[in-house]
A and B are shown apart, each in its own frame.
Chain A
Amino acid sequence: MDSTKGKPKKLESVVSFSLLAVLIIITITILLTQSDYDMTRFGVGATISTSGTDTISISSLNPANYQKLSEETYLADNLYEKINGKAPLYIESGFVKLSTARFVNKNDESLWMELFIFDMEGIKNAFSVYSVQRRPDVEFLPDMQFGYRTNDAPYFVHGKYYVEFIASSKSDELFKAMMETAQKIQMNLPINVNTQIPELSFFPEENLVAGSHKLYLESAFGFEGFTDIFTAQYKFDDEIITAFLSRKDSAAEAIKSFESYHKFLIENGGEEAPSNNPNVKYVDFYGTLEIVTVAGPFVFGIHEAENPQLASKVEKMILNKLREMGKIPNK
């Protein structure tokens, strides 16, 4: 037998080695690409909204001189993995998705920040989580509808999104970078939702503490049945009065809410105080005054006031404001 018959020819060897070389190059390319790939190129998990019409890549939000270290996405079923005990606050307020990214300064790795963008489905939900977490003694950001800064970071609402940052340290450089990202969000992240919250305009402006509005979507003042309650603070010299207001779907709904909250107060130790108007209840609640009023589709009043005169004054201010705006009849 001719032993040379089983051996490949020179051309076959060249072709074979060429194919092997191509396969090796492809393998190396795959490994290199896989080690540092950008999920946004594949449209997977790294965009900010769940809506197909208003998505942007979180990678596009990095400030100049900062590079993205990592990014994460959380939905309602795993939000606790990121924020643990704070997750229910968001989930009970309409949470849809959390997108986060950590950016580090290219010249100083000790300077890093993490961006949190919570998609809350609507502006009222976003405003609610923003307002109930708002820190005391903050500086409000003038160019934002709802936004403030602390010593270390900005926090704001952008349409249906609630946005916050954490900073590795108190640093002007970091804060500047965070504001750069905030501006990119405002300019590039479409919101496509109504950004008005009409209820805020129902609070009279006289003596109103600027930026003090809050929205409790559930269980306001510890009462499970008290939903969609806006609050605002009024300042008279050193005294603060907290007013609340909620617009229900109908007058009947408002009466139901009015009565159930009044009942809750009495069942929990409140004492009925005299009132000559069946639509206004006064309750002495452990030394503080609670006023609950119903008018048309509105339930409003005063919470835990120490000064009854000022409490009544603010309650009447709200009533008059609603009348002026034509939201309820004059009589």
Chain B
Amino acid sequence: MTEQKDKNLGRRQFLTRTGKAAISIAAAGTLSFLLYDTKGPSRYSAKSKDLVTLPDFSIPHKAGDTISIVEGPDRKQTVAKAIELLGGIERFVRQGEMVAIKPNVAFASPPMLGATAQPELVAQVVTLCYKAGAAQVIVTDNPINDPASCFTLSGIGKAASQAGAKVILPREYHFRHTSLEGGKLIKNWPVFYKPFENVDKLIGIAPVKHHARAGASMTMKNFYGLLGGRRNIFHQDINTIIAELAMMVKPTLVILDGTEVMMTNGPTGGSVSDLKRANTLFASCDMVAADSFGCSLLNLKSADLPYLAKAEAAGAGTTDYQALKPKMGTV
């Protein structure tokens, strides 16, 4: 039957079938051409002209208006008081400004375990920023674990959204390469950049935690989340990378939460037994000073954390927090 059918194939049918086949081949070829990646998979490198530098978000500060320490059990109250002691939120956020908040959202862990920033604290800072007239507040991080799980299980995604912030999960196109001037480790390295490109102010929020490798994880270590790529290699030289983060990132303000401190088994913890209530919260324009003060909650001295001295030597701040005349408060 087929043989007879082919014998009876008319010229018109032949041309129609040939035309359809040609169109199919052309379509497939065009699609392949459009999708073809001439460069192939890239490694961690970019040309010098493509390197970016994170903006400087810091504001002028001097002794007496740089760091505040507030004691109290309620984070919403202590953070509000700590910021008020430094001159109020209006000193840090102006009408119409874009604000980025970088909480520690490193792990897909419930807030009860204290491995991440507390949702109510993040929400309160978002609220304060809007109160000061911020045009938009974004909340973002580049977590260790799956980002969606981290923002969901930590409660930060929901709390930030409910307070009106835009939550941004990291995407590949958010990363650009950067090199830190004078840096030993941050050289042509991918950094979480796009969400911060057009914002005016940057606020970091970190809990006080023991860290098996670094000794302590506080405001400076929090910005480890800005690094992309195989950043775990930096654990081999953890003190240098944390010091370089303090040089690379110049936030407007950092909040260091020592309401409950992870005393052991950090940075992930895993049990409420790892936590100790200290009811202390710091607000600071100087990360080095905040961490130098904050480590006392872990029964450490600033000399116990070599990255603090390295950051100080690089001009990122001072370990002599008393010289900054901290403002103290209780709520």
Q: How close is B200's CB to chain A, nearest CB, in angstroms?
A: 30
Q: Mark A164-200, 1 if CB is under 8 A from B, else 0.
A: 1011111000000000000000000000000000000
Q: Are B109 and A84 in contact (CB under 8 A)?
A: no
Interface size class of A (residues with CB under 8 A): 20 to 34
Chain A residues closer than 8 Å to B293, beta-carbon distance? none
Type the 1/0 row for B153-196, where 1 means its CB is closer than 8 Å to any CB of A.
Answer: 10000000000000000000000000000000000000000000
Find residues 65-108 in chain B having any chain A CB closer than 8 Å to their own CB.
Answer: 106-108
Identify which of B13, B232, B235, B273 contacts A150 (C-beta below 8 A).
B273
Question: Does residue B268 face the partner (Cβ distance < 8 Å to A)?
Answer: yes
Partner of A85, one of B213, B264, B273: B213
Contact A166 B270 (CB under 8 A): yes
Chain B residues bordering chain A, tally (CB within 8 A)? 34
> A43: CB under 8 A from chain B?
no
Q: Are A138 and B235 in contact (CB under 8 A)?
A: no
| Minimal beta-carbon separation of B6 from chain A (angstroms) | 11
Of residues 1 through 60 on chain B, the ones whose CB sits less than 8 Å from some CB of chain A are: 5, 8-10, 13
Q: Does the CB pair A6–B232 fall under 8 Å? A: no
CB distance from A14 to the nearest CB of B (A): 16
Contact flag A6-B212 (CB < 8 Å), given A84-B106, A86-B268, A135-B271: no
Return chain A residues, CB-CB under 8 Å to B217.
85
In the bound assembly, the distance between CA atoms of A86 and B109 in angstroms comes to 15
With A135-B271, A150-B272 as contacts: A168 and B112 at CB distance below 8 Å: yes
A80-B232, A135-B274, A136-B273 given; A6·B10 CB < 8 A: yes
Residues of B contacting A239 with CB < 8 Å? none
Q: A86-B268, A135-B271 are in contact. Are A5 and B214 (CB under 8 A)?
A: no
Q: How far is the CA of A208 from the CA of B211 in the complex (A)?
A: 30
Contacts of B107 in A (CB 8 A): 84
Which residues of the partner chain B approach A151 to less than 8 Å between Cβ atoms? 271-273
Q: Which residues of A contact B211 (CB under 8 A)?
A: 85
A-B contact pairs, 24 of them (CB 8 A): A70-B149, A80-B232, A80-B235, A81-B144, A81-B232, A82-B145, A84-B107, A84-B232, A84-B267, A85-B214, A85-B238, A86-B213, A88-B213, A133-B265, A136-B273, A137-B273, A151-B272, A152-B273, A155-B271, A164-B270, A166-B109, A167-B112, A169-B110, A170-B272
